[in-house]
Structure 1
């Protein structure tokens, strides 16, 4: 598995917001029932995942860029 995929600006916004909330990605996914690979898709821009993008943006108070 290639773990060196670049992180998108939206991905950095997600990571920053999770840090502010003292949540890691795994815990965030568990709490809100989001598949971890979908959050990863959003962070790395590998798939659109529109449904989860809207959900994550709403939960974290991010513009749905």
Structure 2
């Protein structure tokens, strides 16, 4: 049984931009001071984490509220 949360469309957008920037999640978090668990929350939609969502939208040039 797989206990992992599915990735949301917003999460896929984050992963796509990180791939385009040739950064993995761990490196991105370290570079921009984002806790890895918060990035995971946003990718999987388990928490809104608005402060980090706003920061991601700016850093990754993502549309708001995708």
Give the TM-score normalised by structure 1: 0.94
Partner in structure 1 of residue 55 of structure 2: 55
Map 1:23-38 to 2 at 5 A. Answer: 23-38=23-38
Give the SS at the match of 1:23. coil
- Residue 3 of structure 1: how far off its partner (Å): 5.1
Match of 2:17 in 1: 17
Structure 2 unaligned regions, length at least 5: none
| Structure 1 position 4, deviation (Å) | 2.0
CA distance in 2, matches of 1:7, 1:54: 19
What is the CA-CA distance between 1:25 and the residue it aligns to? 0.2
Number of equivalences:
64
What is the TM-score of this pair, normalised by structure 2?
0.92
Unaligned 5+ runs, structure 1 = none
SS at match of 1:5: coil
**Counterparts of 2:3 and 2:14, CA distance in 1:** 18
